[in-house]
Amino acid sequence: MREFLKLTGILTLIAALFAGAVSYTYTLTKPIIDANRYKKRVEAIAAVLPPFNNQPEKEKKVVPTSKGEKVEFYVGKKDGKVTGVAFQNSIKGYSGDISMMIGVTPDGKVYGVDILNQKETPGLGAKVAQKTFTQQFQGKGLEESRWDVKKMKGDFDQVTAATISSRSVIEGVKERLLLYQKHADQILKD
Amino acid sequence: MAVLQHLQEDFFKGIWRENPTFRIVLGLCPSLAISTSVVNGIGMGLAATFVLLGSNLLVSLIRNVTPSKIRLPVFIIIISSFVTIADLLIEAYTPDLHKALGIFIPLIVVNCIILARAEAFASRQPVLYSIADALGMGAGFTLALVIISGIREAIGNGTILGVPIFGPHYEPAITLILAPGAFLTLGLLIGLVNYISRKR
């Protein structure tokens, strides 16, 4: 019995000690990590928008979707005139979610797509994050294009042997373009 | 002089004689899962070496005050805390490295090599030898991952470190970077290593 108490005591002590070390590191690094993530977001917005000179991450409009999500639209302006709108989407890929930042010009045509995070198969599906795949969205609008891979009679090239990942990205961009189209007036309004 | 020789032996045994992947055959889950490209192999290898170093050091330091009946839970607490702390520090101070290693860092907790070294070596040996052991095992693990991922990336994707090596007409054998390729490559390599060491 005494040994039982002694062992339990030691183990509890060690667990508490290390839990303390972990939480101390957490509070120490939290502000830095948050700042890094914010910076990443600002960079991602800049990467998919035409040149602007305001701070789009601060001029955002929030639009609810039919699924109950709240989507933020970041409006880029140059000298007070809207040059483009950026927004994020996260959609199920082949393994895990693919999250992307999409930028459009005010008329709803894609300006840039940037994959922020993905866990697709390295060497296959992961190639959807490469420029060679994401560049093909530039200038594409909802009406003019068939939003699917060529294999399924669409207009977009797919990554070889990664049809699911490719279609997910295409679907993710299309979903947000539809939402933008629906709420464009509200988003572009000052 | 004896100390130096001891250190040397503790280091080099991890690379060939007790190579964690090819000889002890431990930590196969990450080895199979992430060895699709050489960059991944190097990243996982270095991250695991870092954690091995920290856990061997701490386990060795407290080896004389840890009651043997609760040593395993104590090791696990040390390893998982160390992994979490490393994860937070890497994300805060080197976000680019964190993005590249992202999913591998939490995976290290379940890597049996770390626990095996704590139990079989660090809990019985002085700090200095435990550090040599951690570095040697880490180097052996990294080397094994680089060899496996090099073969898989070259044949399965036609590149090494992202650089094409077979020219534009090479048609990659995609199977090699999918799951079956991992088992095939690892199995053949273990066979090869056994063959060589038998011959010696």
Under 8 Å between Cβ of B63 and B123? yes
Question: For the segment B32-47, what is each residue's pLDDT rounded down to a tens digit?
Answer: 888 888 888 888 898 8
Q: Do B177 and A124 touch (CB under 8 A)?
A: yes
Rounded to a whole number of angstroms, the distance between the first and last alpha carbons of chain B is 28
Under 8 Å between Cβ of B117 and B85? no
Q: What is the mean pLDDT of residues B25-31?
A: 85
Question: What pLDDT does B65 receive?
Answer: 87
Q: How many angstroms separate the Cα of B23 from the Cα of each of B14, B17, B36, B54, B114?
A: 9, 7, 21, 23, 15
Among B67, B91, B174, whose Cβ lies nearest the Cβ of A7? B67
Question: For the segment B78-137, what is each residue's pLDDT rounded down to a tens digit?
Answer: 999 988 988 898 889 888 778 766 667 787 887 889 999 999 999 999 999 999 999 999
Is residue A133 over pLDDT 70? yes
Residue A16 contacts B, CB cutoff 8 Å? no
Extents of the domains making up chain A:
48-188
> Which sign does the torsion angle of CA B67, B70, B76, B77 carry?
negative
Question: What pLDDT does A109 receive?
Answer: 94
Half-sphere exposure of B30 (CA within 13 A, CB side): 31
Question: What pLDDT does B109 receive?
Answer: 81
Question: What pLDDT does B82 receive?
Answer: 86
Residue of A nearest to B100 (CA): A117
Determine which of B64, B77, B82, B149 to mutate to test the interface with A (most A C-beta atoms within 10 Å). Answer: B77
How many contacts, defined by CB atoms under 8 Å, are there between A and B?
60
Among A18, A19, A29, whose Cβ lies nearest the Cβ of B92? A29
Q: Compute the nearest-CA separation of A144 from chain B (Å).
A: 34
Integer Cα distance of B62 and B75 in angstroms: 10
Among A7, A14, A21, whose Cβ lies nearest the Cβ of B85? A21
Q: Compute the nearest-CA separation of A158 from chain B (Å).
A: 16
Question: For the segment B144-162, what is each residue's pLDDT rounded down to a tens digit?
Answer: 999 999 999 999 988 898 8
Low-confidence winner among A45-54, A122-131, B122-131, B154-163 (lowest mean pLDDT): A122-131
- A11: confidence class by pLDDT, cuts 50, 70, 90: very high
Q: What are phi and psi of A103, to 5 degrees?
A: -120, 135
Is residue A17 over pLDDT 90? yes
Contact residues, chain B to chain A, C-beta under 8 Å: 34, 36-37, 40, 66-67, 69-70, 73-74, 77-78, 81, 84-85, 88-89, 91-93, 95, 103, 153, 156-157, 174, 177-178
Question: What pLDDT does B102 receive?
Answer: 65
